[in-house]
Structure 1
Amino acid sequence: MDILITIQHPAHVHFFKHAIDEFEARGHEVHVRALDKDVALALLDEYGIEYEVLGSRGGSLPRVALSTLAIEYRLYREAKEIQPDVMAAIGGFEASHVAQLVGAKCVVFTDTEHATLSNALTFPFADEVATPGCYHDDAGPNHYRYPSYHELAYLHPDRFDPDPSTLDDLPVDADDTYAVLRLVSWGAAHDVGDAGLDRLTELVGRLEDAGATVLVSAEDDALPPELDGYDIDIDPHLIHHVLAYADLFVGESGTMASESAVLGTPTVYVHSAAPGLMRDLASFDLLYGYHGENRNKHAVKRAVDILRLSDIDWDERRRALLNQKVDATDIIVQRVLEAGT
């Protein structure tokens, strides 16, 4: 069959990359259409995935609206030519709309309850909305829940093995004590009105006082001048190796926080939203989420405590998680192929 996959974000490349290999190995034709968003195209190039670019979102709200219409029209033209049996995306409302127009089935994956506008524009048009079991909203009559997370499509131990040599160009080794601090630009539609960390200089100082080297990963222009020199320069596809060997992750990015947690790295997530995914990871004591008015104060204390405690077996906690979750790539392949038959 012909399968059309849309990519709106770098994390979507990781999510679909092994499934694309599986589809092609079974003789299916995969067509990838991507937005030029952050490092998404660089990741597609790195993994040797062929794709066509649909465009990019504008910066202001009016430009976002206009660019979205243009993207959906381009996707429609592409799909009309390809005539896919199935279209698949993470939260991509363009895919669900276009699938209706060209007579394709559409499977949408999501784990983000607070993407309310996108969800409202997507769910009524999708043939199936597949979510992790911890998704706490009702996605409608075509809602399919599965026992895994998006991140386990590419970070399950059957899919990922960390390599210490990837740290060679960084100021730390795998055996060093270091913390990764992740800052986001707050430009995504589901981030409007949200907030995360503040008093960053104090936070970095406290982590250093607790014995950690601090590495900052900042999205777009999110790095403040006072942290200049802390940012890391590493190929985007290698960041998961950095997270795997870290002793602590502190950040505003839900994706990178959940990636760290499933890798067994203790995670402090600071964000005004508290999706079901984070609550589920917290149940395994791998992630600590702080979302209220005093989130920064509590987050800093927890981060410092993690660095100073040495008697916690984080690997054991990860094993407990993996005993209850499956390889999400198997779910992607199953749901997409079942939709097309």
Structure 2
Amino acid sequence: MKVFVTIQHPAHVHFFRNAIAELEADDHDVHVFAREKEMAVELLRRYDISHEVLAGTASGLSQLARVQATYEARLLRRAVQLKPDVITAIGGVAAAHVAKVTGARSAIFYDTEHAKLIQNLAFPFADAVYTPDCYTRNVGSKQVRYPGYHELAYLHPDRFTPDPTVVEDLGLDPDETFTVLRLVEWGASHDVGQGGFDDVHDVVERLEDAGSEVLITSERTLPSSLESRRATVPPHRMHDLLAFADLFVGEGATMAAESAVLGTPAIYVNTLTMGYTDELDERYELLFNYQQEDRHARALEQAVSILEGDADWQERRQRLLDDKVDTTDVILRAITGRSGNARGRTAQTGAEV
């Protein structure tokens, strides 16, 4: 088969990288197309994934619209030239449109209910939309629900073993308590009008007062007084860091979910919530959601409680793993139809993984 994989965010690289490797090992012809977004292209290079950059970065919604139009036009040109059988993506606005025009099959993955613009532009044109079974929207007959999370495509224990040398490389004592703090830029279309922490200085002070070193990873510019706490870790080693952290506190849902599936308790502070953040909170108690006006204060209270407590986080993680599948197997079946290790489950619409 000839397969197009489109990448527009660093998390997309992680999501597809194991599937890309397996497809290529099975002699499928895989073409990866990317847009400059944070560290996405850098990650593709780090993982030695051959790719073509179709568009650059964007600042603001109007510029993003122009960049997306450029990306889609160039993807269409390459599809006309190469004639793919399948085009796959997360979100997949360009992928679904180009597949529809060129006669390719589109397999779209998504897990973010509130990103309605992307869904309205992509889902009507997609052939299949794959969502975690905790996704709260009903997409209709093309929806395929599976028992997993995006993060289990690359952090399932069958796919990932954390490297403890990341702690030493950062100059930390292996016995030292440390927290990863994630700050987002609030520049995405679905982030407009949303918010997280009230005061980052207060967050750092409270965590340090509780006896934790604080390592910051931030999309936005940090105050000069906090720059020394920035985590200088290569992007492809961030998951090693999350696995060995005692706590994650942040405004980004993806990194919060990554921490949770690794067994690191996660505090998620954001006015937006998703089906998967709710499930990780309510069902597995690995992630704690804070969305209301008092989110800053309540989140810090919970963070301090975790740092001072002794809960068995790995037992909670094992319960999660017993219920969920390796999402890379779902991706491979969506693209090729091959059976993987994923345990079949009937979707709400009648489709099966």
TM-score where L is the length of structure 1: 0.97
- Aligned-pair CA distance for 1:226: 3.6
Q: Distance in 2 between matches of 1:277 and 1:23?
A: 27
**Superposed displacement of residue 86, structure 1:** 0.3
1:253 counterpart residue number:
252
- Aligned residue runs from structure 1 range 148-297, under 5 A: 148-219=148-219, 221-282=220-281, 283-297=283-297
Asked whether 1:313 is paired with 2:312, we answer yes
Alignment match, 1:335: 334
Deviation at 1:338, TM superposition (A): 2.5
The aligned counterpart of 2:93 is: 93
Matched-pair contact (CA < 8 Å) for 2:168–2:174: no
Q: Tell me if structure 1 keeps the 8 A contact 2:61–2:189.
A: no
Task: Give the SS at the match of 2:108.
Answer: strand
The CA deviation string for residues 4-32 of structure 1, in whole angstroms up to 9 with x for no partner, is 00000000000000000111111111000
Cα pair 2:3 2:87 within 8 Å, conserved: yes
Deviations 1:195-231 (A, max 9, x none): 1112111111111111100100111x34233422111
Runs of 5+ consecutive residues of structure 1 not aligned to the other structure: none
Q: Is the Cα–Cα contact under 8 Å of residues 183 and 222 in structure 1 kept in the other structure?
A: no
Instruction: Determine what percentage of the aligned residue pairs are the same residue.
Output: 50
Q: What one-letter code is carried by the residue in structure 1 that aligns with 2:110?
A: T
Distance 1:142 1:192 in 2: 29
- Using the TM superposition, name which of 149-158 and 196-205 deviates more: 196-205
Structure-2 residue corresponding to 1:10: 10
Counterparts of 2:284 and 2:174, CA distance in 1? 24
Q: Structure 1 counterpart of 2:23, which letter?
A: F
Deviation, 1:174, is 3.5
The DSSP-based 3-state class of the residue aligned with 1:87 is strand
Given that 1:8 and 1:92 are in contact with CA atoms closer than 8 Å, whether structure 2 keeps it comes out as no
| AA aligned opposite 1:30 | V
User: Which shows bigger deviation, 129-138 or 170-179?
Assistant: 170-179
* Equivalent AA in structure 2 for residue 294 of structure 1: D
Mapped contact 1:179–1:247 kept (Cα < 8 A): yes
Conserved? CA contact 1:106–1:126, under 8 Å: yes
**149-158 or 173-182, which moves further after superposition?**
173-182
Does structure 2 conserve the Cα–Cα contact (< 8 Å) formed by 1:57 and 1:68? no
Superposed displacement of residue 60, structure 1: 2.6
Asked if the contact 1:164–1:173 (Cα under 8 Å) also holds between the matched residues in 2, the reply is no
Q: Does 1:63 align with 2:42?
A: no
- Tell me what 1:124 maps to: 124
RMSD: 1.2
Hey, what's the Cα distance between the residues in 2 that align with 1:140 and 1:63?
32
Q: In the alignment, which residue of structure 1 is the partner of 2:351?
A: none
**Alpha-carbon offset, residue 168 of structure 1:** 2.6
Number of aligned pairs? 337
Secondary structure of the 1:168 match is helix
Q: Give the residue type in structure 1 aligned to 2:11.
A: A
**Structure 1 position 57, deviation (Å):** 4.2
Contact kept, 8 Å, 1:76 with 1:98, in 2: the verdict is: yes
Alignment of 1:104-143 (within 5 A): 104-143=104-143
Secondary structure class of the residue paired with 1:268: strand
Following the alignment from structure 1 to structure 2, what is the Cα–Cα distance between the partners of residues 251 and 120?
A: 28
The separation in 2 between residues aligned to 1:253 and 1:226, in whole angstroms, is 22
Structure 1: distance between partners of 2:173 and 2:262:
17
Q: Secondary structure at the match of 1:292?
A: coil
Verify the 8 A CA contact 1:183 1:223 in the aligned structure 2. Answer: no
d(CA) in 1 for partners of 2:135, 2:302: 26
Mapped pair 1:323 → 2:344: no
| Cα separation, 1, equivalents of 2:58 and 2:185 | 14
